[in-house]
A and B are shown apart, each in its own frame.
Chain A
Amino acid sequence: MAISVNPHVLDEIKSYGAFDISACFHCGNCTAVCPLSEDGASFPRKMIRYGQLGVKSEILKAKEPWLCYYCAECSETCPRQAEPGEYMASLRRYQIANLDPTGFGKLMYKHSWFALLFSAVTAFILATLLVKIPYGKSPAHWLFGDLVSYSTIHDVGIGLSVLLTTLLIASFFNLIRRSEILVGTSFKKLLKAKMEVLREIGTMKRHAKCHESDERKMPWYIDPRFVHMGIMWGFLMLAMATAFDFLFLYLMPMFVNPIPEWLGAFGLPQVFYPARILGTIGGLIMLWGVSTALYKRLAKSERATEKTRFSDGWLLGYLWVLAITGFWLEIVVTFANKAIINDWVLLIHAAMAMQLVLFMGMTKLAHVVYRPFMLVKHALRNTETHQTGEKQ
Chain B
Amino acid sequence: MIENNCENNGENNGDSNNISKNNISKNNCDDNSDSTNIRVGVYVCHCGGNISDVICVKKVAEGLANYPNVAISKEYVFMCSDAGQKLIIEDITSGKINRVVVAACSPALHELTFRKALQRAGLNPFLYEHVNIREQASWVHKKEPEAATQKAILLTRAGIEKIRRQEGLENIRVGANKHAIVIGGGPAGMRSAISLADRGLQVSLVESGNKLGGRLLEIDTVYPTNEKAEDILETLKTDIRARKNIGVYLNNEIANISGFVGNFQATLKNGETIAAGAVVMATGNKSYEPFEGEFGYRTQDNVVTMPEFHGILCNIRNNTSTNKDFIHNGKHIQSIAFIHCVGSRQQAETHQPQADGKLNEYCSRICCSTTLQAVNEVKKHFPNVKVFDVYRDIRTYARFTEDGLYEKASKNGTLFFRYTEEQLPTVQGKNITVKDVLTWNEEVTFEAELIVLATGIVPNNITNIVEKLKLPIGADRFLSEAHPKLRPVEVANTGVYLAGTCQAPMDLVESCVGAAAASSKAAIVLGKDHIELDPYVAFVKPEKCDGCQKCLPECSYVGAIFMNKDGKAEVNPALCKGCGACVAVCPQRALDLKGWSLEQIEAMVDAIAEA
Partner of B444, one of A2, A23, A25, A46: A2
CB pair B335–A23 under 8 Å, yes or no, is: no
Interface size in chain A (residues, C-beta < 8 A): 18
Rounded to whole Å, the gap between the CB of A4 and the closest CB of chain B is 6
| Residues of chain A in range 1-37 having any CB-CB distance to chain B below 8 Å | 1-5, 7, 10, 20, 22-26
Closest B residue to A46 by CB, please name it.
B440
CB pair A25–B410 under 8 Å, yes or no, is: yes
CB pair A4–B413 under 8 Å, yes or no, is: no
Rounded to whole Å, the gap between the CB of A13 and the closest CB of chain B is 13
| Residues of chain A in range 36-52 having any CB-CB distance to chain B below 8 Å | 46, 49, 52
CB pair B443–A3 under 8 Å, yes or no, is: yes
Closest B residue to A10 by CB, please name it.
B413
Closest B residue to A81 by CB, please name it.
B411
* Chain A contacts for B411, CB-based, 8 A: 20, 22-23
| Residues of chain B in range 379-428 having any CB-CB distance to chain A below 8 Å | 386, 388, 406, 410-416
Closest A residue to B435 by CB, please name it.
A2
Partner of A53, one of B406, B414, B415: B415
Q: B442 on the interface (CB 8 Å rule)?
A: yes
User: Please, how many angstroms separate the alpha-carbon atoms of A20 and B73 in the complex?
Assistant: 78
| Residues of chain A in range 275-299 having any CB-CB distance to chain B below 8 Å | none
Interface centre among B388, B411, B416, B438 (most CB of A within 10 A): B438
User: Please, how many angstroms separate the alpha-carbon atoms of A183 and B443 in the complex?
Assistant: 26
User: Please, how many angstroms separate the alpha-carbon atoms of A22 and B408 in the complex?
Assistant: 11
Rounded to whole Å, the gap between the CB of A39 and the closest CB of chain B is 13
Contact with B along A242-282 (1 / 0, CB 8 A): 00000000000000000000000000000000000000000
Q: A307 on the interface (CB 8 Å rule)?
A: no
User: Please, how many angstroms separate the alpha-carbon atoms of A7 and B432 in the complex?
Assistant: 14
Q: A80 on the interface (CB 8 Å rule)?
A: yes
Partner of A3, one of B335, B406, B444: B444
Rounded to whole Å, the gap between the CB of A40 and the closest CB of chain B is 13
CB pair A7–B439 under 8 Å, yes or no, is: no
Q: Given that A46-B440, A49-B438, A53-B439 are contacting pairs, would A5 and B415 also be in contact in the complex, using a CB cutoff of 8 Å?
A: yes
Rounded to whole Å, the gap between the CB of B271 and the closest CB of chain A is 58
Rounded to whole Å, the gap between the CB of A38 and the closest CB of chain B is 16
* Chain A contacts for B406, CB-based, 8 A: 25
Size band of the B side of the interface?
Answer: 20 to 34
* Chain B contacts for A22, CB-based, 8 A: 410-415
* Chain B contacts for A52, CB-based, 8 A: 415
| Residues of chain B in range 442-484 having any CB-CB distance to chain A below 8 Å | 442-447
Interface centre among A4, A5, A52, A80 (most CB of B within 10 A): A5
User: Please, how many angstroms separate the alpha-carbon atoms of A1 and B439 in the complex?
Assistant: 14
Q: B171 on the interface (CB 8 Å rule)?
A: no
User: Please, how many angstroms separate the alpha-carbon atoms of A20 and B414 in the complex?
Assistant: 12
Closest B residue to A82 by CB, please name it.
B410
| Residues of chain B in range 284-342 having any CB-CB distance to chain A below 8 Å | 335
User: Please, how many angstroms separate the alpha-carbon atoms of A20 and B407 in the complex?
Assistant: 13
Contact with A along B474-499 (1 / 0, CB 8 A): 00000000000000000000000000
Rounded to whole Å, the gap between the CB of A141 and the closest CB of chain B is 58
CB pair B335–A7 under 8 Å, yes or no, is: yes
Q: B433 on the interface (CB 8 Å rule)?
A: yes
CB pair A7–B440 under 8 Å, yes or no, is: no
Closest A residue to B445 by CB, please name it.
A2
* Chain B contacts for A25, CB-based, 8 A: 406, 410, 416
* Chain A contacts for B410, CB-based, 8 A: 22-25, 80
CB pair A7–B415 under 8 Å, yes or no, is: yes
Rounded to whole Å, the gap between the CB of B321 and the closest CB of chain A is 28
Closest B residue to A1 by CB, please name it.
B443
Rounded to whole Å, the gap between the CB of B389 and the closest CB of chain A is 12
Partner of B439, one of A3, A10, A20: A3
Rounded to whole Å, the gap between the CB of B440 and the closest CB of chain A is 7
User: Please, how many angstroms separate the alpha-carbon atoms of A21 and B433 in the complex?
Assistant: 22
CB pair A53–B444 under 8 Å, yes or no, is: yes
Rounded to whole Å, the gap between the CB of B292 and the closest CB of chain A is 26
CB pair B415–A4 under 8 Å, yes or no, is: no
CB pair B415–A3 under 8 Å, yes or no, is: no
Contact with A along B90-112 (1 / 0, CB 8 A): 00000000000000000000000
CB pair B335–A4 under 8 Å, yes or no, is: no
User: Please, how many angstroms separate the alpha-carbon atoms of A260 and B445 in the complex?
Assistant: 72
* Chain B contacts for A20, CB-based, 8 A: 411
Closest A residue to B432 by CB, please name it.
A5
* Chain B contacts for A80, CB-based, 8 A: 410
User: Please, how many angstroms separate the alpha-carbon atoms of A80 and B409 in the complex?
Assistant: 13
User: Please, how many angstroms separate the alpha-carbon atoms of A237 and B443 in the complex?
Assistant: 49
Rounded to whole Å, the gap between the CB of A99 and the closest CB of chain B is 24
Rounded to whole Å, the gap between the CB of B388 and the closest CB of chain A is 8
Closest A residue to B413 by CB, please name it.
A22
Partner of A2, one of B416, B440, B443: B443
* Chain B contacts for A3, CB-based, 8 A: 439, 442-445
Rounded to whole Å, the gap between the CB of B588 and the closest CB of chain A is 71
Rounded to whole Å, the gap between the CB of B367 and the closest CB of chain A is 19
User: Please, how many angstroms separate the alpha-carbon atoms of A67 and B414 in the complex?
Assistant: 29
Interface centre among A2, A26, A49 (most CB of B within 10 A): A2
User: Please, how many angstroms separate the alpha-carbon atoms of A62 and B386 in the complex?
Assistant: 26
* Chain B contacts for A5, CB-based, 8 A: 388, 415, 444-447
Closest A residue to B442 by CB, please name it.
A3
Interface centre among A3, A20, A24, A49 (most CB of B within 10 A): A3
Contact with B along A192-219 (1 / 0, CB 8 A): 0000000000000000000000000000
Rounded to whole Å, the gap between the CB of B372 and the closest CB of chain A is 13
Interface centre among A1, A23, A46, A53 (most CB of B within 10 A): A53
User: Please, how many angstroms separate the alpha-carbon atoms of A3 and B442 in the complex?
Assistant: 7
* Chain A contacts for B415, CB-based, 8 A: 5, 7, 22, 52-53
Q: Given that A2-B445, A3-B444 are contacting pairs, would A49 and B439 also be in contact in the complex, using a CB cutoff of 8 Å?
A: yes
Rounded to whole Å, the gap between the CB of B235 and the closest CB of chain A is 36
Closest A residue to B444 by CB, please name it.
A3
Closest B residue to A7 by CB, please name it.
B386
* Chain A contacts for B442, CB-based, 8 A: 2-3
User: Please, how many angstroms separate the alpha-carbon atoms of A10 and B410 in the complex?
Assistant: 14
CB pair B438–A26 under 8 Å, yes or no, is: yes
* Chain A contacts for B438, CB-based, 8 A: 26, 49
Partner of B445, one of A4, A10, A26: A4
* Chain A contacts for B440, CB-based, 8 A: 46, 49
User: Please, how many angstroms separate the alpha-carbon atoms of A49 and B335 in the complex?
Assistant: 19
* Chain B contacts for A49, CB-based, 8 A: 438-440
User: Please, how many angstroms separate the alpha-carbon atoms of A5 and B386 in the complex?
Assistant: 12
Rounded to whole Å, the gap between the CB of B305 and the closest CB of chain A is 24
Rounded to whole Å, the gap between the CB of A17 and the closest CB of chain B is 16
Rounded to whole Å, the gap between the CB of A186 and the closest CB of chain B is 30
Rounded to whole Å, the gap between the CB of B511 and the closest CB of chain A is 30
User: Please, how many angstroms separate the alpha-carbon atoms of A20 and B413 in the complex?
Assistant: 9
Rounded to whole Å, the gap between the CB of B371 and the closest CB of chain A is 16
Rounded to whole Å, the gap between the CB of A173 and the closest CB of chain B is 32
* Chain B contacts for A10, CB-based, 8 A: 413
User: Please, how many angstroms separate the alpha-carbon atoms of A143 and B58 in the complex?
Assistant: 121
User: Please, how many angstroms separate the alpha-carbon atoms of A49 and B416 in the complex?
Assistant: 10
Interface centre among A10, A22, A46 (most CB of B within 10 A): A22
Closest A residue to B411 by CB, please name it.
A23
User: Please, how many angstroms separate the alpha-carbon atoms of A5 and B416 in the complex?
Assistant: 12
Q: A4-B446, A23-B411, A25-B406 are in contact. List 10 more A-B contacts (CB 8 A).
A: A2-B433, A4-B444, A4-B445, A5-B415, A7-B415, A23-B410, A26-B438, A49-B438, A53-B444, A53-B446
Can you list 29 A-B pairs, Cβ within 8 angstroms, ordered by A? A1-B443, A2-B433, A2-B442, A2-B445, A3-B439, A3-B444, A4-B444, A4-B446, A5-B388, A5-B415, A5-B444, A5-B445, A5-B447, A7-B335, A7-B386, A7-B413, A22-B410, A22-B411, A22-B413, A22-B414, A24-B410, A25-B406, A25-B410, A25-B416, A26-B438, A46-B440, A49-B438, A49-B440, A52-B415
Q: Can you list the 6 inter-chain pairs with the closest CB atoms, starting with the nearest?
A: A5-B446, A2-B443, A2-B445, A7-B386, A3-B444, A22-B413
Residues of chain B touching chain A, judged by Cβ–Cβ distance below 8 Å, are 335, 386, 388, 406, 410-416, 433, 438-440, 442-447
